A and B are shown apart, each in its own frame.
Chain A
Amino acid sequence: MAKEKEQKQPLPPVAEWAPALALSWLVPGGGHLLLKRTGRGLLLMAAITSMFVCGLMMRGAMFQPESGDLLTTLINTGGFIGDVASGILYLLSQWLGYSQPDVAGAVHDYGTKFLVTAGLLNILAMVDAFDIAVRRKD
């Protein structure tokens, strides 16, 4: 009952939660730091950044959106969204010229998955920062 009431509350103004959400995308854990959840923010930052850096060190490939058959489109577009979701980590790696072709090998493959998963975990962190900003969560 209390949960239903909580869910029906209108969203606070965009200005209250948008900065936390945007910073959360740009800097993993940044939204939590902005909302004064320092411990959680630092943990998220450490985990997501470490995962992304491990992916780079394993020479994982970045996805580029591609059209073609449904599976190719889904995999490449989904992978691209996962990569971009890492925010500044992705942007920095592109600006600094990271370009790894998709080559065969278990380590490269793990690297690619690490890069995408870092972005997907950052999406979870963004949702959590949003929930905190709109006071659905402490």
Chain B
Amino acid sequence: MPKMTLSHFEASMLFSLFTSVVLGVVTKRTDRDRLHYGIYTFVCFFAALFGLGWLMYFGHG
């Protein structure tokens, strides 16, 4: 098994992508709603990632 070395950002983006796909598929009742919810979840992950990243940056001074 090859070894994978990712940065924090890359690992977080992969995590967000896979989680958003599953949450989108299992949560809603129509394909349109599933797609919208999957994208919405991914954008939320992305926003939280950047928000927390900047918060930690300013927190460290």
Contacts of A106 in B (CB 8 A): 8, 11
- Is B29 in contact with A137, judged by CB distance below 8 angstroms? yes
Q: Check: B41 CB closer than 8 A to any chain A CB.
A: no
Cα distance A48–B19 in the bound complex, in angstroms: 8
Contacts of A54 in B (CB 8 A): 4, 14, 18
Q: Check: B26 CB closer than 8 A to any chain A CB.
A: yes
Q: How large is the interface on B (under 10, 10 to 19, 20 to 34, 35 or more residues)?
A: 10 to 19
Beyond A124-B26, A125-B22, A128-B25, whether A113 also contacts B3 by CB under 8 A is no
Chain A interface mostly helix, strand, loop or mixed?
helix
Cα distance A106–B6 in the bound complex, in angstroms: 9
Q: How large is the interface on A (under 10, 10 to 19, 20 to 34, 35 or more residues)?
A: 20 to 34
Cα distance A32–B11 in the bound complex, in angstroms: 28
- Is B26 in contact with A114, judged by CB distance below 8 angstroms? no
- Which residues on A are within 8 Å of B, measured CB to CB? 40, 43-44, 46-48, 50-51, 54, 56-59, 98, 106-107, 110, 113-114, 117-118, 121, 124-125, 127-128, 137-138
